[in-house]
Chains A and B, each alone.
Chain A
Amino acid sequence: MGSQHVKMKPRLVSRLSSEYLLWFLGQVRQAFDGDVIKGVIFLAVTQANVRHIDEGSPAGWTELDNPPPDNLRRPVSAGAVAVALGVPKETARRKIRELVSARFCALAPGGVIVPRRVFLRPGNASGLKRNAEHLRALFSALDRHEVGLVRRYCLAVGEARLRQLGRVSTDFTLRATGILRGLCDGELLAGLIFLSINVANVRHITAAHEPLYATAEDPPPNSERHPISALALSRELGIRRDRAPSCAPTGGRRLLYRRQGRAGRPHRGADAAQVQGRGGPGGGEPGLAA
């Protein structure tokens, strides 16, 4: 697969994949009224329901119009979701209750499932197509920067296997949130906020034609990081502006934030970040895959 290329340019690969990750999470957030935590819980339920399908020899259910039936979906408890994501059990219970009320989830023996009908809603297929487009863009950028590991491979033609692609993308996203939580004392929201800030700080570097600051030993200097305002951050993640996060890892906050309209000044009035349950722009369709 050429993982040695990735090891040579891990910082570049990390930045490029973070852009994709943030896009994916943005789609999920929009689908759940701006509540990114609820969206990630939805992803975790979905993954727990269908993970076994792609284990071993893939059993099918790969196409847009053919999500796995409910009787193949393995229920998961709110407690298990809480443990998997590192969120409080009560938070997981409450969000899952809301998902059940909104018919995104259904009660089943031993827990909940995201039923097949959710993945047949209008908009799901287009979401999966967009996911493929963004993955193509990611792979293209890796190729452009001569990371190399994708050069020998291609995605299936047209819309083939897009549902399966979405399931793997969901797994990738959940694995990435685990990495982010590891940076932020296990707190999911803090990890997502950190991701948003970091992506915004270096987006211009990520978009550069040259593979800048690609190696592990060469992070972009602070002088080249573009601060993100509390307002922009609140829009990007759907968190309250007046609750600009304090949960970025120690040492980075002053550079990473600025008050809106006061470029270069740190946001000192930071408070615990909290999800704001308001709608984001647009309105995606939940559950890209499964």
Chain B
Amino acid sequence: MQPKFKAAVAQAAENLVWLLEELVRVGVLQLRSEPSLPEPVAG
């Protein structure tokens, strides 16, 4: 596998982490323990 593909896989995974962290930062994703938000992400 060419290094650029391997790097792209890592970048794509990091982009997903960015998505989740951004959703947490702006308040779209919140800790499950908060009682006002009972619906799990995986629902």
> Which positions in A face B, CB cutoff 8 Å?
1, 3, 6-7, 9-11, 13-14, 17-18, 54, 58, 62, 136, 139-140, 143-144, 149-158, 161, 164-165, 168-169, 171-172, 175-176, 179-180, 182-183, 216, 219, 249, 251
Give the number of residues in B that approach A within 8 Å (Cβ atoms).
37
Q: Mark B21-32, 1 if CB is under 8 A from A, else 0.
A: 111101111111
A183: chain B residues within 8 A (beta carbon) = 4-5, 8
A179: chain B residues within 8 A (beta carbon) = 8, 11-12, 15
A175: chain B residues within 8 A (beta carbon) = 15, 18
**Nearest chain-B residue to A176 (Cβ)?**
B15
Can you give 11 contacting A-B residue pairs, CB < 8 Å? A6-B17, A11-B9, A14-B8, A14-B9, A14-B13, A153-B23, A154-B37, A154-B39, A155-B28, A161-B27, A165-B23
Q: A216 touching B4 by the CB < 8 A rule?
A: no
A17: chain B residues within 8 A (beta carbon) = 12-13, 15-16, 19
Docked Cα-Cα span, A251 to B22, in Å, equals 36
B9: chain A residues within 8 A (beta carbon) = 10-11, 14, 216
Q: Which of A10, A157, A158, A182 has the most CB of B within 10 A?
A: A10
Q: A54 touching B12 by the CB < 8 A rule?
A: no
Q: B20 touching A7 by the CB < 8 A rule?
A: no
Q: A176 touching B28 by the CB < 8 A rule?
A: no
Least CB distance, B23 to chain A, in whole angstroms: 6
Docked Cα-Cα span, A168 to B16, in Å, equals 11
Docked Cα-Cα span, A140 to B8, in Å, equals 23
Least CB distance, A129 to chain B, in whole angstroms: 14
Q: Choose among B8, B18, B41 the residue that contacts A143 (Cβ–Cβ < 8 A).
A: B41
Docked Cα-Cα span, A145 to B37, in Å, equals 24
B29: chain A residues within 8 A (beta carbon) = 150, 153-155
A54: chain B residues within 8 A (beta carbon) = 26
Docked Cα-Cα span, A212 to B42, in Å, equals 20
Given contacts A54-B26, A152-B32, A168-B28, contact A18 B12 (CB under 8 A): yes
A216: chain B residues within 8 A (beta carbon) = 6, 9-10
Given contacts A140-B42, A155-B29, A165-B23, contact A7 B12 (CB under 8 A): no
Q: A153 touching B20 by the CB < 8 A rule?
A: yes
A58: chain B residues within 8 A (beta carbon) = 26-27
**Nearest chain-B residue to A165 (Cβ)?**
B28
Q: Choose among B4, B18, B38 the residue that contacts A172 (Cβ–Cβ < 8 A).
A: B18
Nearest 4 CB-CB pairs, A to B? Answer: A10-B13, A14-B12, A140-B42, A143-B42
